[in-house]
Amino acid sequence: MTTSKTHAAATIGGDAERLVRLSEQLHAHPETAWEEHKSSRWVAESLEEAGFSVTPAYLGLETAFLATFGSGPFRLGLCAEYDALPGLGHACGHNLISAITVGAARALAPLADVAGLTIEVYGTPAEEGGGGKIELLERGAFAGLDLAMMAHPAPVDVAEAEPFAVSHSHVEYRGKAAHAAAYPEQGVNAADAFTIAQVAIGLLRQQLPPTVRVHGVMTNGGEAPNAIPARTEGRWYVRAESLAQLAETEEKVWRCFEAGALATGATLAVEPESKPYAEFRTFAPALAAYRRNAEEIGRVFDPGTPARRMNRASTDMGNVSQVVNAIHPYVGINSGTALNHQPEFAAHCVGGDAEKAILDAATALVTSGRRSAAKAI
């Protein structure tokens, strides 16, 4: 094990320039969910260079891929995410996730035969609300893996993922346009419907448990101030401790939207943007190995400050964890008061601390996967 750790660290160190370059390339060219054409190709090419066999457009998803190496009995999966946020770029640090995953995969490849590994790297699009991993799961991906791993950037290091389950919905009201001054009685105000729904949700929050979140944005509020809006749209997320609690909460939230339609006479349509994301089921032995390995190379896990709460953020990796053993630790980039999904955090996802996070997380994942395989075989 000591020899493999040394070898892995040396391989990742030798790859440092390549990994940083990949991370910076992704950061400079952010692509949003399902549009990650360049990003997925760049990540796949960095694995192909190391001898991985790459299947592009994996399972019919244009910006997904599968890269494999080795033929051992222990199937180890590594997930790469590379989608960015609309308007915020890589403010969640998916550019770092891809570099970490590539670094770990390239370091594991020379150990595949001796460790009895088949290494499978999944390029997973549309984590930011599109549920790319869920689409892959439903098409047969991840089946039979012994362990699935990835590491996500955060302000500080946190070992265990405890994400909310979440649903993502597109909400639309349709009313009737009319001149707001001359013929207001002829209109059906779709914007008023949204206002009523949002007020109702605000009041509902008083009766919701602390494990629930409801939030969203209006993406279309009308066309002109002197025309009663005939159509309004928004995107809304409901989060809860589990899929079961999520289903209970959604019933209450949808009644709030129905109230807007009832009060104004507008019609309501709610369409899911993806399948719901599940809560996370952590494989404790692999997570314990990750934590030990990370601490050995100098990582310090946050004891309980507010900055650690990134581990509550929803992820479609939760759905993978319901099917196979999985871990999803968080690696800190020392971003201070800059938190995920802020422009300031995106700025911290390149540079010295971000580069160190790539190398450290890749090293910890390698040794965790290697240890898990050694125990299993």
Q: What is the pLDDT of residues 233-280, one digit of tens each?
A: 999 999 999 999 999 999 999 999 999 999 999 999 999 999 999 999
- Tens digits of residue pLDDT in 45-93: 999 999 999 999 999 999 999 999 999 999 999 999 999 999 999 999 9
177-186, 265-274, 364-373: least confident range: 364-373
Spell out the alpha helix ranges (H) of 32-169.
37-48, 94-108, 112-115, 132-138
Cβ atoms within 10 Å, residue 264: 22
Cβ atoms within 10 Å, residue 201: 22
Mean pLDDT, residues 332-340 taken together: 97
**DSSP character at residue 134:** H
State the Cα–Cα distance between residues 169 and 126, nearest whole angstrom. Answer: 15
Please report which helix (H) or strand (E) contains residue 62, including its range. Answer: none
Partners of 166 in beta bridges: 239, 277
* Per-residue pLDDT, 101: 98
* Per-residue pLDDT, 369: 81
Spell out the alpha helix ranges (H) of the chain.
2-14, 16-28, 37-48, 94-108, 112-115, 132-138, 190-204, 243-264, 284-296, 317-321, 343-348, 352-376
Kindly report the CATH number that applies to the domain delimited by 2-163+279-376: 3.40.630.10
The contacts of residue 174 (CB under 8 Å, 6+ apart) are 190, 230, 231, 266, 267, 269
Question: Same CATH topology for 2-163+279-376 and 165-272?
Answer: no
Pick the CATH number of 165-272 from 2.102.10.10, 3.30.70.2860, 3.40.50.1390, 3.30.70.360: 3.30.70.360
- What does the block give as tokens for 65? 């891929």
- Tens digits of residue pLDDT in 98-141: 999 999 999 999 999 999 999 999 999 999 999 999 999 999 99
Q: Which amino acid is located at 56 in the chain?
A: P
Do the beta carbons of residue 24 and residue 103 sit within 8 Å? Answer: no
Question: pLDDT band for position 375 (50/70/90)?
Answer: confident
Question: pLDDT band for position 204 (50/70/90)?
Answer: very high
Judged against a pLDDT cut of 80, whether residue 370 lies above it is answered with no
Judged against a pLDDT cut of 90, whether residue 8 lies above it is answered with no
Question: Taking the CA atoms of the chain, what radius of gyration do you get in angstroms?
Answer: 23
State the Cα–Cα distance between residues 294 and 226, nearest whole angstrom. Answer: 60
| Domain ranges for the chain | 2-163+279-376, 165-272
Judged against a pLDDT cut of 60, whether residue 1 lies above it is answered with no
